[in-house]
Amino acid sequence: MSFSNWILYLGTIVMLMAAPGPGPLLTLSHGAQHGARGGIPNALGFSAGALLLMALSALGITALLFTSPTAFKVVKLLGAGYLVWLGITLWRKPFKLDGAADGGPASRLWSGFRPAFLLAVSNPEDTIFFSALLPRFLDPSHSLWPQYLVMAATWVVADLVIAVLLAAAGGRLGEWLAHGQRLKRFSRTSGGLFMIAGLMLAAVQR
């Protein structure tokens, strides 16, 4: 992969990661609970999901979604259902700020990693994105696997930086949310947005 291709790839994924959507909203919400450090479990979850999709793309498995309407529909409905479930969970049980959070560090790590990972792997558009995007940055005249490794490492580092920045912003937001009914309203607003995103994803057509 040439340096110019790498710069183009980096710019593309940064815009993708920072674009408004369920992923940044999840990180902001987790950051409001746990501060900047709350972005690390989210980043690990998103990166683990992305690496899995990259591996499947490199093996040609995700190409199935391009050729099988049934496979696309199944993944789409699973992703939509998960977003709606996240939204209902937030709506019915508003999250707590760090001082009142349940569980220890391991529990918090898992609570940040799990939803991010599931969100990353359950979105069919992300799966197709990896299948469609990654080959555009590959140089077929050179070995492909080292190029995949460079793209994977770049993704993990960029994801970590952006997630920590978003979580830090969420942490500042958490200070404001700690007063009155703001936390409950924010949880319900976030939950509503997740449910809307899930319904929109369910309506996506090939």
Calculate the CA 30 to chain-centre distance. Answer: 12
Q: How much is the pLDDT for 99?
A: 47
Residue 151 contacts by C-beta under 8 Å, 6 or more apart in sequence?
Answer: 1, 9, 54, 134, 137
Calculate the CA 113 to chain-centre distance. Answer: 10
Give the Cα-Cα-Cα angle 31, 36, 41 (nearest 5 degrees).
Answer: 70
Range of the domain at 135: 3-203
Helix axes 3-18, 22-34, angle to 10 degrees: 70
Q: How much is the pLDDT for 100?
A: 46
Mean pLDDT taken over the chain: 76
Digit-coded pLDDT (tens) for 71-117: 667 767 776 787 788 788 777 765 555 544 455 666 767 778 888 89
Lookup result for tokens 């040609």: 60
Mapped onto helix, strand or coil, the DSSP state of residue 19 is coil
Residue 89 contacts by C-beta under 8 Å, 6 or more apart in sequence?
Answer: 191
CA-closest candidate to residue 119, choices 55, 189, 65, 45: 45
For the cut 70, the answer to whether the pLDDT of residue 125 exceeds it is no
The token pair that represents 171 in the structure block = 């942490």
**Cβ(107)–Cβ(40) below 8 Å:** no
Tell me the torsion sign for CA atoms 99, 102, 108, 114.
Answer: negative
How many domains is the chain partitioned into structurally? 1
The token pair that represents 100 in the structure block = 């009142």
158 vs 128, residue with greater confidence: 158
Q: How much is the pLDDT for 65?
A: 58
DSSP annotation of 204: -
Digit-coded pLDDT (tens) for 21-70: 788 888 887 777 777 777 788 888 888 888 888 887 777 655 565 566 77
